[in-house]
Copies of this chain bind each other. A is one copy, B any other.
C-alpha cells in the first residue's frame, strides 16, 4: 500500500519530455503545498514536492497547466536512483501521479477551453 494525496500550486510550468527508446510522454512539475500551521515568524510555510506523470496524463498536464495553477494530485511515492555529475549515486523521492484534478483556471482563459476538469488515467469498466 502506497498512497499520496496533495493539493497545491505548480511552482513553474510543467516540463514535458519523451523517453528516448519508446517515446513515451513524461511530465514533471513541483507542487507548493501549504503547511497547516505558521512558523515562529507567523508565516505559512510550504513543502515543495516533485511530481511525475506519464502518457496521456502527462500530455494533459503539459497542455493545460501552468505556473501557479491549483491542483489535487493522487498517486504513490517513488524513490529513484540517479547518477550525479560527479558520478556518485543520488536518490530522489517523488510522487507518481495517477489522477490530477484541476481546481482553478487562469482568469484570461475561459474555462470552456480546458478539455477536462479531471484526467482519467485509464478507462474504467463498470460492472453493470
Q: Which residues of A are in contact with B by a Cβ distance under 8 Å?
A: 1-8, 19, 21-22, 24, 26, 33-37, 39-40, 47-50, 54-55, 70, 72, 74, 76-79, 91-95, 99, 101, 103-104, 118, 120, 123-124, 126-128
Check A22 against B124 for contact (C-beta < 8 Å).
Answer: no
Knowing A36-B120, A37-B124, say if A99 contacts B49 (CB, 8 Å).
no
Question: Could you say how many copies of this chain the assembly holds?
Answer: 4
**Known pairs A49-B77, A70-B103, A118-B36; A127 contacts B19 (CB<8 A):** yes
Q: How far is the CB of A50 from chain B (nearest CB, A)?
A: 7
List chain B residues, Cβ under 8 A from A21: 128
Contact A47:B127 (CB < 8 A) given known A34-B118, A118-B34: no
Give bound CA distance, A108 to B61, whole Å: 31
Among A4, A99, A120, chain B packs the most CB atoms within 10 A around the CB of A4
